[in-house]
Structure 1
Amino acid sequence: MAIGISALLRAVGALAITVGLATATASVRAQEINYFSIGTGGVGGTYFPLAGAIANAISNPPGSRPCDEGGSCGVPGLVAVAQSSHGSGANVVAIVSGALNSGFSQADVAYWAYSGTGRFEGQEPMRDLRVIAALYPEHVHLVASKASGIASVADLKGKRVSLDKTDSGTYPDAVLILEAFGLTEADITVENLQPEAASEALRDGRLDALFFVSGYPARAVGELAASAEIVLIPIVGPEVDKMLLEHSFFTKDKIPDAAYRNVKGVETVAVGAQWLTSLEQNEDLIYGITEALWNDTARQLLDVGHAKGTSVTRQTALDGIAIPLHPGAERFYREAGMIK
């Protein structure tokens, strides 16, 4: 009889555990999971690791510990994912088509896409593009092998140069810089390689130089500096002054000596990086994402996620924006007193 009672108690206990697990599972399932993609660039750039840090900051999967207990402080039910891509140009197209929920883009590419000008001349303006936040300045890296003898933009004539993929953000900026110095694509041997492939080609002697627009330190350039003798080429002079008058999205800036090991820093130009989404995205969702981006937990994740993360601040979230904010983001900034 005792054995029968013991077996019965074990059965009841097992049933209770099963019911408890089923209830917990049902509770998690009851909380809707909302996946949110962030288009970036190549994995060797700054977009990808920074987007990973932001994705962690805004995510709050079902079953996570509460924020005040050291758990996730993002949007309840949200699972954000950084997704590699060809960069700015590819991202704006994917956002408008619905293939991406959001993505990073250079400020110039965002404006051209929204207005149907520049590199998007003759195309239907992407009027549904909206900004969540301005992020940080991206610097034009012009990297050359030391053996190439290249010391200025003018020296690129007759050389093998990668301008990045044609749907990247780097490509149109590289073309503008070449034009500023009186060069066209016909004056060089053009390669359209992503930064990782371009770095490998330069290391192997199949390429003389490459353009790459990225916040420093960019992983692809850092790895190249560790395995090959390279130099950063300055982008300076009266040609640059004239270019800035015609294209105000460029600013003068510098890549410091400490950015890459054994590589001397240079004066160059920069353009702002922005986080974009579509007007089609739910207002409350984007409000929650914007709020999560600027909470204290996100600050910690940004500061340790990438060296450029410290440059992503709420104080500069509206700098250099030339297309409309998403209504959800705008509501957050108004409530925060950043928009009067």
Structure 2
Amino acid sequence: MNTKTVTRLAAAAVGAATLLGATFAVGQQMAFFRIGTGGTAGTYFPIGGLLSNAVSNPPGSRACADGGACGVPGLIATAVATNGSVANINGIESGALESGLTQSDVAYWAYSGTGVFEGKAKIENLRGIANLYPETIHLVARKGAGIKSPADLKGKRVSLDEPGSGTLIDARIVLSAYGLTEKDVKAEYLKPNASGDRLRDGALDAFFFVGGYPTGAISELATSSGIELVPIAGPEAKKILADFKFFGPDKVPAGTYKDVEGVETVSVNALWVTSAKQPEDLVYGVTKALWNDNSRKLMDAGHAKGKQIRKETALDGIGIPLHPGAEKFYREVGLLK
């Protein structure tokens, strides 16, 4: 699905939701549920597409028992391309989105009014639907750029991702752990696909990306021009883990990207979040649809990270309250007591 198609779908969803009052109740024929994702070259966008397929069940669809949609009856969910975590949370708060994907660190900061949200109003209506999968911090370097550690980024041309992205926040944390700030690098603020293009052309030395591996933009870059992954390890990484409890140790295995050695790094969790203002019945239905057998098949076949989206880890590392609808489902299946 290209960006124009997503934009048309989103526009249609917004218009129809406005006409219908954007509410959900038993007996309503149609409801819309927008899922804010990220750039089209990242991991959030295809995962958002899988989620929308899993929970959608438009009017007139064949019944699940007949091989049709197994989602919420009458629901049309759409994956909307955005600038990522921060933008999705702001969209949920403003009502421009019904839900979105976000990093666990960004969700915690938004809800508590700390970190990058310090001095701003707490987004107290932010609620969790599920933890999805680990999001790995990639530091991608141009082959031969001489970057063996984040400390080597000093004076280099580095993309930190767009304003509003969780990647930008985490890139700043990594730089700080290695004694650097944005002023110590020649910082640019580009989406992953634009960063890849500039790296390939020799106009960029490195870029940060936070997302599930493998991601399309990095895979294509590794195949077409060759890259190196820079480890985020050693005492600096240990300090990150000690200072920020929502990070965990991680590793990108060798061969994940063509001819690229494995590296140690750190990761956060990818969460699916919504607003406390969303109806309990709706979010209960969405959560239940996420974890049915049909959705399991979609996740396993749809993306490498889809296999890591497991009901058994749905409550790991969320860090914000669950939506009552999601909480109801997890209690029913015994994941909450």
Structure 1 residue aligned with 2:62: 65
Moved over 3 A (4+): none
Aligned partner of 1:320 among 310, 314, 317: 317
1:108 partnered with 2:110: no
The structure with the largest helix share of the pair is: 1
Partner AA of 2:55 in structure 1: I
C-alpha distance after superposition, 1:106-165 (max 9, x if no partner)? 000000000111011100000000000000000000000013111111110110000001
Mapped to 1, the partners of 2:56 and 2:137 lie a distance apart of 31
RMSD: 0.9
TM-superposed CA distance for 1:309, in Å, is: 0.2
Structure 2 residue aligned with 1:189: 186
**Tell me, what secondary structure is at the counterpart of 1:257?**
coil
Structure 1, unmatched stretches of 5+, are 1-29
Aligned partner of 2:299 among 295, 302, 305: 302
Aligned partner of 2:202 among 205, 228, 232: 205
TM-superposed CA distance for 1:31, in Å, is: 5.7
Query: TM-score, normalised on structure 1?
Result: 0.90
C-alpha distance after superposition, 1:266-296 (max 9, x if no partner)? 1000000100000110100000000000000
Q: Is the 8 A contact 2:237 2:265 kept in 1?
A: no
Partner AA of 2:249 in structure 1: K
TM-superposed CA distance for 1:258, in Å, is: 2.3
1:171 partnered with 2:168: yes
Mapped to 2, the partners of 1:101 and 1:259 lie a distance apart of 34
Mapped to 1, the partners of 2:233 and 2:152 lie a distance apart of 13
Mapping of residues 27-176 of structure 1, within 5 Å: 32-176=29-173
Mapped to 1, the partners of 2:276 and 2:212 lie a distance apart of 27
Q: How many residues align?
A: 311
Partner AA of 1:239 in structure 2: E
Structure 2, unmatched stretches of 5+, are 1-26
Structure 1 residue aligned with 2:226: 229
**Tell me, what secondary structure is at the counterpart of 1:147?**
coil
Structure 1 residue aligned with 2:266: 269
- Equivalent pairs: percent with the same residue? 60
C-alpha distance after superposition, 1:166-195 (max 9, x if no partner)? 210001110000000101111100000011
Q: Is the 8 A contact 2:254 2:263 kept in 1?
A: yes
Query: TM-score, normalised on structure 2?
Result: 0.91
Q: Is the 8 A contact 1:31 1:62 kept in 2?
A: no
Mapped to 1, the partners of 2:83 and 2:144 lie a distance apart of 29
Aligned partner of 2:276 among 255, 276, 279: 279
Structure 2 residue aligned with 1:247: 244
Partner AA of 1:234 in structure 2: P
Larger of the two Rg values belongs to structure: 1
TM-superposed CA distance for 1:34, in Å, is: 0.8
Mapped to 1, the partners of 2:217 and 2:100 lie a distance apart of 20
Partner AA of 2:83 in structure 1: H
Mapped to 2, the partners of 1:265 and 1:239 lie a distance apart of 19
C-alpha distance after superposition, 1:238-264 (max 9, x if no partner)? 111112111111111100112111111
Partner AA of 2:157 in structure 1: R
Mapped to 1, the partners of 2:48 and 2:240 lie a distance apart of 30
